[in-house]
Amino acid sequence: MAQDISEVLKQAMALPSDARAALAGALLESLDEAVDETAEAEWDREIARRIGELDSGRVRTISWAHSRREIAAKLHAG
């Protein structure tokens, strides 16, 4: 069985990054046995709120590189 998993992993790692991301998402979703409808509705509202903030210009995005630098600085400072 471990050899089978190793072979599957090897094949998955050979996929393009977008396919690996889709595969990872599908695998994670497969672990959720029960869907909490209340949580799903709350996430839908939160996503809509954040999109609204972006669309209105109240918030702006920053790059992952910038975020990574800020996180690293906070980790090294504390």
pLDDT at 37 over 80: yes
Q: Which residue has the higher pLDDT, 23 or 1?
A: 23
Give the CB-side neighbour count of residue 63, counting CA atoms within 13 A.
Answer: 3
Look over the chain and give the mean of its residue pLDDT values, rounded to a whole number: 93
Three-state helix/strand/coil letters over 3-28: HHHHHHHHHHHCCCHHHHHHHHHHHH
Determine the pLDDT at residue 32.
Answer: 81
**Domain positions in the chain:** 1-33, 36-78
Q: Which residue has the higher pLDDT, 74 or 35?
A: 74
CA distance 32 to 40: 13
Our CA angle for 34, 37, 43, nearest 5°, is 110
Please, which pLDDT band fits residue 33 given cuts at 50, 70 and 90?
Answer: confident
Q: What is the mean pLDDT of residues 33-44?
A: 89
CA distance 34 to 37: 9
Q: What is the mean pLDDT of residues 39-56?
A: 96
